Structure 1
Amino acid sequence: MCKAKFFIIFISSLGLLSCDRNGVYEENINTLKNSWSETNTAKFQVEIEDTISSHNIYVNVRNTTDYSNSNLYLFITTTSPAGFTKLDTLECFLADEQGKWLGKGFGYIRDNRIPYKHNIRFPLKGSYKFELKQAMRTEELKGIASVGIRVERNNHK
């Protein structure tokens, strides 16, 4: 019985240590068979309660080494709780000039966290919608396994 209690406390403490205190939201959406169709839009809904702290927004891209480009262009549509919409284009570098894959990982998978917006304040509380579309002028992007959004509080003011 004592060992069982110790095990539960140990596992619980590991969970607390792995918590990300800066993270407000993070979600990734897998593509079908590691291929992202130009007709598929990744949609995310982020609830923002803190309009005082500054935030950083990142785009997560998981690619395989089968991806045939060194970069990825995205269209990012952001819609505020008031219904205002903004469209941005973001270039994500996935490999360097020599063709070496960037990001973390081993084997044929690479995880990239690409800065999108830095040190911003959300003007309104409520639900913000982010939509990601690939903008590579290719019907199917083979080698893109997932895409996502991460919003975190900025500790550096």
Structure 2
Amino acid sequence: MVKIKDKNPYFLVLLFTLLLNSCNSDILFTDSAAMPDNTWDLSNIVHFSAPVNDTINPSDVSFTIRTGADYPFRNIYLFVTTVAPDGNTITDTLEYDLADEKGNWSGKGFGDVHELSLPYKSNVFFPEGGIYDFRIQHGMRVVDLNGVYD
């Protein structure tokens, strides 16, 4: 899930749901992308297009990922590319811990499904209004990443 929070005193499931949120927890945008057969193929780049109108107040951007008991790692690497309306592109490589060294999963869970919010950018200003494109690809050392629901 991708979340973007507007911080005007206001508040991204991949896999994710892209959320635009304001500081007061108003969700400005949400979307999700389910993984076929609960497997995220390396060539499957998840796209979210989020309309941004507020260029004055800062926002938070985060993802939420849901994994199952068959997810084989305690972390995940993501390549996140953000394309602004003017075509300016920024790519970040991110690592998130999904479980601790003892195998205890972070976030909340129900049965064998675990959901964790992954902060991406905090207090970010979008310099121009329009559609921002977020492209997310897993960066693990396997082609088929099992146990990723959305």
Give the distance between the partners of 2:92 and 2:127, measured in 1 at CA: 18
Higher relative contact order (CA 8 A, sep 6+): 1
Aligned-partner SS, 1:33: helix
> Is 2:144 the partner of 1:145?
no
State the aligned residue count: 127
Q: Is 1:84 aligned with 2:84?
A: no
Give the Cα–Cα distance (whole angstroms) in 2 for the partners of residues 33 and 72 of structure 1: 19
Distance 2:66 2:145 in 1: 12
Equivalent position to 1:102, from 101, 106, 111? 106
User: 5 Å matches for 1:52-131?
Assistant: 52-131=56-135
Shift in Å, 1:21: 4.5
Q: Deviations over 1:76-129 (max 9, x none)?
A: 000000000000011121101211011112210011111000011100000000
| TM-score, normalization by structure 1 | 0.78
Q: Which letter does structure 1 place at the counterpart of 2:91?
A: L
SS at match of 2:36: coil
CA gap of 1:59–1:21, structure 2 versus 1, over 3 A, is closer
In structure 2, the partner of 1:27 is 31
Moved more, 22-31 or 106-115: 22-31
CA distance in structure 2 between the aligned counterparts of 1:75 and 1:21, rounded to whole angstroms? 26
1:134 to 120, 138, 141: 138
User: Could you tell me whether the CA contact under 8 Å between 1:55 and 1:119 is conserved in 2?
Assistant: yes
Mapped to 2, the partners of 1:92 and 1:129 lie a distance apart of 21
Identity %, equivalent residues? 37
| Larger-Rg structure | 1
What is the TM-score normalised by the length of structure 2? 0.82
Q: Identify the match of residue 43 of structure 1 among 43, 47, 54.
A: 47
Gaps of 5+ in 2: 1-23
